[in-house]
C-alpha cells in the first residue's frame, strides 16, 4: 500500500472542488477541519507534472510554485512537489498546469507531501473572502474546537467546545453556507461558536446551532 492509499482511508477529509470517481469515497469535512487536520496548507500554482511508476496505477508528481504557506512551517517550510495517485478511482487528484492558483492541503510521509480528492483542494479564485480569512488566522484559532456534523434533525451540541455543522441538511455539505462563510472559534467563557464578521471573534457571539 502506498502512503496515499493509507491516507485517503484514514484522513477522510473533503475536497470542495471534487467528489471523485467511482470507488473513491470521502467523508464531508468543513474547511476548518480540513485545515486543522492537514500537515501542510499552501497556496500554489502547478507548473509541471510527471507520471512515475509507483503503486498499482502509478503516481502523479506535480511541480508547484508555492505562493504562500498557511500551515506546516515546521513540517516542510517550502514545498516544491506534491504527490497523488494517478487513478481517480484511488482518489488521485487532477490539477491544471500553468493555469490556476490552488489552495492545497495534504499530509507528509517520508518527507513527501501527498494529497488527493479527499483533501480540501480548491481553485484560489473560487474561495470566498471568509474562507481566505479563515486560512490566514481564523481556522487556526478554532483547531481546539470540534465541528459536529448534523445529517438528520434533531441535532444538538453535547459539549461547550462543539459547533453544529448543518450544511448537509440542505446542501449535502457541497459547498454549504457554513463551509463558505463561517469558522468555529473558542469565545470568552471557553465556549466554541460559529463566527463571521470583521471584529475580533470575542466581540461577536453567534449561536452554535443557528449561524
Instruction: Could you list the residues known to form a binding site for Zn(2+), using ranges.
Output: 24
User: Cα–Cα distance between 210 and 206 in angstroms, integer?
Assistant: 8
Long-range contacts formed by 48-51: CB under 8 A, 24+ apart: 48/97, 49/95, 49/97, 51/86
User: Cα–Cα distance between 205 and 96 in angstroms, integer?
Assistant: 40
User: Cα–Cα distance between 47 and 66 in angstroms, integer?
Assistant: 10
Q: Which residues participate in the annotated binding site?
A: 24
202: left (phi over 0), alpha (psi -120 to 50) or beta: alpha
Please confirm whether the linkage preceding 183 is cis (ω < 30° from 0). Answer: no
Q: Which of 85, 83, 72, 125 is nearest to 102 (CA)?
A: 125
User: Cα–Cα distance between 183 and 105 in angstroms, integer?
Assistant: 17
**Beta strand 146-149 pairing with 162-165:** parallel
Amino acid at each position: 500500500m502506498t502512503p496515499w492509499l493509507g491516507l485517503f482511508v484514514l484522513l477522510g477529509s473533503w475536497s470542495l472542488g471534487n467528489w471523485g470517481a467511482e470507488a473513491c469515497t470521502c467523508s464531508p469535512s468543513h474547511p476548518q477541519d480540513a485545515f486543522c487536520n492537514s500537515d501542510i496548507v499552501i497556496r500554489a500554482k502547478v507548473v509541471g507534472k510527471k507520471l512515475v511508476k509507483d503503486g498499482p496505477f502509478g503516481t502523479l508528481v506535480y511541480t508547484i510554485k508555492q505562493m504562500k504557506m498557511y500551515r506546516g512551517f515546521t513540517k516542510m517550510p517550502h514545498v516544491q512537489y506534491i504527490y497523488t495517485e494517478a487513478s481517480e478511482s484511488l482518489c488521485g487528484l487532477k490539477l491544471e498546469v500553468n493555469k490556476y492558483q490552488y489552495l492545497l492541503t495534504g499530509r507528509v510521509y517520508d518527507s513527501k507531501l501527498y494529497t488527493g480528492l479527499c483533501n480540501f483542494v480548491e481553485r484560489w479564485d473560487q474561495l470566498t473572502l471568509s474562507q481566505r480569512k479563515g486560512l490566514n488566522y481564523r481556522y487556526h484559532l478554532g483547531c481546539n474546537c470540534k465541528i459536529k456534523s448534523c445529517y438528520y434533525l434533531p441535532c444538538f451540541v453535547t459539549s461547550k467546545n462543539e459547533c453544529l455543522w448543518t450544511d448537509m441538511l440542505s446542501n449535502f455539505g457541497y459547498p454549504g453556507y457554513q463551509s463558505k462563510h463561517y469558522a468555529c472559534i473558542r469565545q470568552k467563557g471557553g465556549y466554541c461558536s460559529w463566527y463571521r464578521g470583521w471584529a475580533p471573534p470575542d466581540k461577536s457571539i453567534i449561536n452554535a446551532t443557528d449561524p
